[in-house]
């Protein structure tokens, strides 16, 4: 690998590793950093991630334990769990000898402490433009090179021609990339769909039927749209890959940990036990639920489905939570 990789990926979980595989297959030089160091050393040795056992790291992907190797890249990709992203980057930032052209994060959530989107907290911290790559993708399928599509939302500080070049750089024959300028909308959709996926798992587990699930997803999209538009995002983002597309996948796909979490809680598990059953996988929708409610309250937006999930996380009986939602006053659509 050359001294300076083309892309530095920070976070060697399933998604960060899957993206490294996709780009590495096209000859892109990738430095993949994560923790703990022992896990990265094992990944470098075996060339196989434990959660992606059927895929192998291409030769152009180098797992590294020293973050300065990844920080030398001109493009940074942050693939860390949402709630620790700011903390990790605060520790990495002093180690960077130069600023990259751009940081692209692939995390989906809203910060619980500040109610900010990741671009809002990372841009002033790192003093670099921050974009987001999001859409309906499961890491295992991407790692296996199955066809997928994502949205690359870039800030306006990245000029038009350069934005198209970045789109081309990150696209592959099996990973189609659509370009957007709606960073706000794409981030909010990626976060909010996890809350709705928890609700979808709950509906499934309680045996409420396909009618209820269809109604949930449709009205959930309405909640998403209200929040996105009130905060400056675009309506077309909600009905595109980052919104409707990601919701359809996460609310129905068997790999969705947010949907599985909701199903376990609906089956009588405590939220704590359901989260613990996921092992090292983070159920991003749990923290996002209350963060989204706080954000919505600050701009006067009502999120009834999200309120039900919050009550569920606080220990309310699942049947009572659903009854509370159904008993709301009738409204026009």
pLDDT, tens digit, 9 for 90 and up, residues 140-193: 999 999 999 999 999 999 999 999 999 999 999 999 999 999 999 999 999 999
Query: What's the pLDDT band for 327 if we cut at 50, 70, 90?
Result: low
Q: Mean of the pLDDT values across residues 55-76?
A: 97
- Taking the C-alpha atoms of residue 222 and residue 213, their distance in angstroms, rounded to an integer, is 14
Going by pLDDT thresholds of 50, 70 and 90, the confidence category of residue 330 is low
Please give the average per-residue pLDDT across 211-233, as a whole number. 94
- Per-residue model confidence (pLDDT) at position 329: 62
Percent of the chain exceeding pLDDT 90 equals 90
Confidence of residue 118 (pLDDT cuts 50, 70, 90): very high
241/153 Cα distance (integer angstroms):
12
Please list the active-site residues.
Answer: 193
| Phi-psi region at 331: left, alpha or beta (left = phi > 0; alpha = psi -120 to 50) | beta
Residue 1 has pLDDT above 50, yes or no: no
Q: What is the pLDDT of residues 245-287, one digit of tens each?
A: 999 999 999 999 999 999 999 999 999 999 999 988 889 999 9
| Domains (range + CATH), the chain | 7-183 (3.40.50.720), 185-326 (1.10.1040.10)
CA distances from 310 to 115, 135, 169, 224, 295 (A): 15, 24, 40, 16, 14
Q: In what order do the strands lie in the sheet with 7-10?
A: 61-64, 30-33, 7-10, 75-78, 102-105, 130-134, 148-153, 175-180
- How many Å apart are CA 122 and CA 129, to the nearest integer? 9
Q: pLDDT tier at 130 (50, 70, 90 boundaries)?
A: very high
Q: Average pLDDT in the 111-121 region?
A: 95
Token digits for 226? 């209200």
pLDDT of the residue at 328: 66
Mean pLDDT over each residue of the chain, to the nearest integer? 94
Closest to 13 in 3D by CA, of 146, 152, 178, 143: 143
Q: Which of 293, 291, 309 is nearest to 301 (CA)?
A: 293
At residue 115, does pLDDT exceed 90? yes
What's the alpha-carbon Rg for the chain, to the nearest Å? 20
Q: Contacts by 210-219 with C-beta closer than 8 Å and gap 24+?
A: 213/251, 216/305, 217/247, 217/248, 217/251, 219/305
């Amino acid at each position: 690998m050359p001294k300076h990789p083309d892309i530095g990926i920070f976070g060697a979980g399933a998604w960060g590793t899957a993206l490294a595989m996709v780009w590495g297959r096209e000859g892109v030089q990738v430095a993949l950093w994560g923790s703990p160091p022992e896990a990265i050393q094992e990944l470098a040795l075996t060339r196989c991630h434990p959660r992606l056992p059927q895929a192998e790291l291409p030769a152009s992907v180098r797992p590294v334990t020293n973050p300065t190797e990844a920080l030398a890249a001109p493009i940074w990709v942050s693939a860390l769990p949402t709630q620790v992203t700011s903390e990790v980057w605060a520790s990495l930032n002093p180690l960077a000898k130069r600023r990259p052209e751009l940081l692209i994060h692939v995390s989906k959530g809203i910060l619980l402490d500040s109610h900010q989107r990741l671009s809002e907290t990372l841009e002033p911290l790192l003093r670099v433009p921050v974009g987001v790559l999001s859409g309906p993708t499961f890491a295992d399928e991407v790692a296996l090179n199955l066809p997928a599509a994502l949205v690359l939302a870039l800030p306006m500080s990245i000029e038009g021609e350069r934005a198209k070049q970045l789109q081309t750089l990150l696209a592959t024959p099996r990973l189609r990339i659509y370009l957007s300028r709606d960073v706000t909308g794409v981030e909010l959709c990626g976060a909010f769909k996890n809350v709705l996926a928890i609700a979808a798992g709950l509906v499934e587990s309680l045996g409420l039927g396909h009618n209820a699930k269809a109604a949930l997803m449709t009205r959930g999209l309405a909640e998403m749209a209200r929040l996105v538009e009130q905060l400056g995002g675009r309506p077309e983002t909600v009905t595109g890959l980052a919104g409707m597309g990601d919701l359809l996948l996460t609310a129905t796909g068997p790999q969705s940990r947010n949907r599985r979490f909701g199903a376990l809680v609906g089956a009588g598990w405590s939220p704590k036990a359901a989260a613990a059953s996921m092992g090292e996988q983070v159920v991003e929708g749990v923290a996002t639920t209350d963060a989204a409610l706080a954000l919505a309250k600050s701009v006067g937006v009502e999120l009834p489905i999200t309120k039900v999930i919050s009550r569920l996380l606080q220990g309310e009986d699942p049947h009572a939570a659903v009854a509370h939602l159904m008993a709301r006053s009738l409204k026009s659509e």
